[in-house]
Structure 1
Amino acid sequence: MKIWQRSMDLVDLVYDYTDDLPFTERYNLISQTNRAACSIPSNIAEGSGKRTNVHFGEFLTTSLTSSYELETQFLICKRRLYGNVDKLENCLSQLAEVQKMIFSFREYILNNDNPE
Structure 2
Amino acid sequence: MHRFKDLEIWKRSRLFCSDIYKITSKFPESEKFGLTNQLRRASVSIPSNIAEGSSRKSDKDFSRFLEITLGSAYEIETQLLIAHDLKFISEHEINQLSNELAEIIKMTSRFKSTLK
**What TM-score, normalized by structure 2, do the two folds share?**
0.90
CA distance in 1, matches of 2:80, 2:71: 14
| Percentage of identical aligned residues | 36
Match of 1:4 in 2: 10
2:19 aligns with one of 4, 9, 13? 13
Q: Secondary structure at the match of 2:57?
A: coil
In 2, are the aligned partners of 1:17 and 1:84 still within 8 Å (CA)? no
Please tell me whether the aligned partners of residues 11 and 37 of structure 1 are also in contact (alpha carbons under 8 angstroms).
yes
Deviates most, 22-31 or 75-84:
75-84
How many pairs are equivalent? Answer: 110
Give the structure-1-normalised TM-score.
0.90
Asked if 1:45 is matched to 2:47, the reply is no
Which 5+ residue runs of structure 2 have no aligned equivalent? 1-6
Q: Give the superposition deviation at 1:20.
A: 1.2
Residue 88 of structure 1 deviates from its aligned partner by 2.6
1:54 paired to 2:60: yes
Distance 2:90 2:44 in 1: 21
Query: What's the CA shift string for 1:30-63, capped at 9, x where partnerless?
Result: 0010000000000000000000010000000000
Conserved? CA contact 1:57–1:109, under 8 Å: yes
Structure 1: tracts of 5 or more residues without a match: 111-116
Structure 2: which amino acid aligns with 1:76?
A: I
